[in-house]
């Protein structure tokens, strides 16, 4: 999917300057308690699947939607895990866009789908202890 039309409009207005967007991520655990992470195509780092919360979306829906868009997994957000923000999650994209999101994490239950890289944002998925 890449950048949503909403974020594109903001970027068109502010350029590459720092943006503090709300975001949501899905925490998926295996039967052995390991956590699913994706390897980002842009910088090779491992992260839980997630992305920006678009206008009129709830954080839980955004986590579910973004998980599906990146991984092909259909899931339901079951419980709030954590909310993080600050300089430790600041990220500069290869195109120079600077982001420092406020991320809402949800424990999610997988309902279906097949785990695979869907939209080109992730190159690999793996469960980690």
Q: Is the pLDDT at 83 greater than 90, yes or no?
A: yes
The percentage of the chain sitting over the pLDDT mark of 90, rounded to a whole number, equals 91
**pLDDT at res. 119:** 86
Q: Is the pTM here over 0.85, yes or no?
A: yes
Tens-digit pLDDT profile for residues 11-35:
999 999 999 999 999 999 999 999 9
The percentage of the chain sitting over the pLDDT mark of 70, rounded to a whole number, equals 99
Bridge partners (DSSP) of residue 45 are none
> What per-residue string of b and e applies to 66-80 under the rule 16 or more CB within 10 Å gives b?
bbbbbbbbebebeee
Distance of CA 122 to the CA centre of its chain: 10
CA dihedral angle for residue 118, residue 123, residue 124, residue 125, rounded to 10 degrees: -50
Strands 22-27 and 102-113: parallel
Instruction: Give the Cα separation of 49 and 45 in Å (integer).
Output: 12
């Amino acid at each position: 999917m890449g950048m949503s039309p909403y974020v594109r409009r903001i970027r068109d207005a502010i350029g590459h300057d720092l943006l503090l967007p709300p975001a949501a991520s899905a925490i998926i655990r295996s039967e052995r308690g390991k956590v699913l992470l994706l390897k980002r195509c842009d910088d090779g780092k491992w992260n839980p699947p997630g992305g920006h919360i678009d206008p009129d979306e709830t954080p839980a829906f955004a986590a579910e939607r973004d998980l599906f868009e990146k991984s092909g997994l259909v899931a339901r957000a079951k419980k709030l895990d954590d909310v993080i923000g600050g300089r430790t999650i600041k990220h500069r994209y290869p195109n120079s866009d600077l982001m420092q999101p406020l991320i809402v994490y949800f424990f999610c239950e997988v309902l279906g789908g097949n785990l695979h890289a869907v939209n080109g944002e992730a190159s690999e998925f793996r469960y980690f202890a």
